[in-house]
Amino acid sequence: MLLGAAGLSLPVPRLYAAPSEGYSGRLLVTLQCDGAWDVTSFCDPKSNQPGEKEITQWSRSDDIQTAGNIQYAPFANNQSFFDNYYQDMLVINGVDMQTNSHTTGVLHNWSGRNTEGYPTITAMFAANNAPEQPLSYLNFGGYSQTANLIRYSRLNGGAGLDFLLDPAYLFGRTPLSTEVNLTNIREFRKNKTQEMMSDATLMNRQKGNLQAYNLALSGQDNLKKFLDYVPDDNELEGGITLANKRFSDLRDQVRFAAAAFQ
């Protein structure tokens, strides 16, 4: 019911200028781990049964392990992971996705519904806890429906981020324009946007996009503070190649998420 109600609550995305006091609430991080993880070798372990087809190779010689009251498979680095973090975990197994389709399964997993248009838990959390922050919902890919509760900021690495956050400068060089010129440019942009918004022929979606654009610009100065926390290039690992030639920059994503939270 929570997901269904949230999907109908706001017709226009909320995006405001950042308040000067910042944010001191909680941080919600979700990981969309595609690729059909074998949960029987992670936190829903299954042992082979006599007379039945083999389920797992590890249970030929090992038994299911526990950390606290959480069961896990004695596989890969599971023991170290669960022994270190089980006290901070809640494991939920056996969620019925109402489908055997991968695409629909992703939809149900992140929105709670098998139909389009419902928001992720991340969107609801951001809209409820930090609707006025410019980076309240960072997205690095995957399912990201917001149901117009809020807008997300998409990051694909840090290339060009300095210029985006402080466009008056280009990669640390001399300012592109004098402060007087920049003030004139901003004033012209503001007036032009207001003129466009007064057009009676605009569709609601067009007007909403213009409003979001205008409000985003009003919080630009506060957004520059993000530059103080953005990892330096030498702190980033870039993409790393995993098993089966899979590519991942998850560690850098975590660094950017932590920087935005700070």
In the chain, where the domains are located:
2-34+96-261, 45-92
Quickly count helices (H) and strands (E) in the chain: 9, 6
* pLDDT over 70 at 58, yes or no: yes
Residue with token string 């640390």: 172
| pLDDT, position 17 | 44
> Is the model's pLDDT at 16 over the cut of 60?
no
In the prediction, which pLDDT does 220 show?
66
Whole-number Å distance between alpha carbons of 122 and 113: 15
Q: Find the mean pLDDT for residues 2-27.
A: 49
Helix axes 204-218, 179-197, angle to 10 degrees: 160
Of 5-14, 100-109, 140-149, 247-256, the one with minimum mean pLDDT is 5-14
Q: Which of 237, 239, 10 is nearest to 119 (CA)?
A: 10
Is 239 in contact with 249 (CB distance < 8 Å)?
Answer: yes
- Of 121, 89, 107, 144, nearest in space to 3 by CA: 121
- Which range (65-69, 95-99, 238-242) has the least confidence? 238-242
pLDDT at 19: 52
Portion of the chain with pLDDT greater than 70, in percent: 81
* pTM exceeds 0.85, yes or no: no
Task: For 45-55, write each residue's pLDDT tens digit.
Answer: 999 999 999 99
Band of pLDDT at residue 20, cut at 50, 70 and 90: low
Structure tokens belonging to residue 19: 């308040």
Q: Closest Cα partner for 153 from 167, 171, 141, 168?
A: 141
Q: Is the pLDDT of residue 44 over 90?
A: yes
CA distances from 228 to 126, 160, 161, 231 (A): 22, 15, 12, 9
Residue range 186-219, pLDDT digits in tens:
888 888 888 888 888 889 888 888 887 777 776 6
Check whether 124 has a pLDDT greater than 90. yes
On whether the CB atoms of residues 40 and 57 are closer than 8 A, the answer is no
Instruction: Provide the mean pLDDT of the chain.
Output: 80
